[in-house]
Amino acid sequence: MLQNLTNKYSIILASASPRRQQFLKDLNIPFTIKLFDVEEVYPNTLVKNEIPEYLSILKSKPFDAILKDSELVITSDTIVWHQGSPLEKPKNAEDAFQMLKKLSGNMHEVITSICIKTTKFTKVISDTTKVYFTNITDEEIQYYIKNFKPFDKAGSYGIQEWIGYIGVEKIEGNYFNVMGLPIHKLYEALKNIE
């Protein structure tokens, strides 16, 4: 479906996330993976979508020096926003436990931003999904952390995993955004690139 785009550009996905990689495969978008080690630090004055927008642009910066006219790079970042502050990836099991305790019985927002960059333009899109958790017991949280090790996930959970099955009461917004990529918005943006 994106024949014009893929004829014009070689797509680079700058993400180690297996979920993001699978999304592009499922859309039949041919791509290569290229990663740079970027320290994900942002000004503490940023709030909500400003954080993943800043970080997705930051992740695209190393490509400025090497990107060819025939290449398009996609970078992305996801945060969980809960009660006025971001929950990022947990440092360890205790950190994951504390995050999930905070989310239990509450609503939080999952915000993902995508940066699409060529040598001629940079476009950033974002999406927000509200996720409502039921009350989860300490035992359930410990079981999840022990068996699923969610240390690479913002907010310490994957909605597509066991804890999503038992803990997510409802969502408002896009499900795939919670998995780490608002694929509908990415497709629309790619479709509209000249």
pLDDT tens string 99-112: 999 999 999 999 99
pLDDT mean over 132-155 = 96
Q: Is the pLDDT of residue 194 over 80?
A: no
Catalytic residue ranges: 77
Please provide the DSSP assignment of the chain as one string.
Answer: --HHHHHH-EEEE----HHHHHHHHHTT--EEE----------TT--TTHHHHHHHHHHHGGGGGT--TTEEEEEEEEEEEETTEEE---SSHHHHHHHHHHHTTSEEEEEEEEEEE-SS-EEEEEEEEEEEE----HHHHHHHHHHH--TTSGGG--TTSHHHHHHEEEEES-HHHHHT--HHHHHHHHHT--
Q: Is the pLDDT of residue 1 over 80?
A: no
Q: Which domains does the chain have, with CATH numbers?
A: 3-191 (3.90.950.10)
Q: Given pLDDT bands bounded at 50, 70 and 90, which one contains residue 97?
A: very high
Residue pLDDT, tens place only, 45-88: 999 999 999 999 999 999 999 999 999 999 999 999 999 999 98
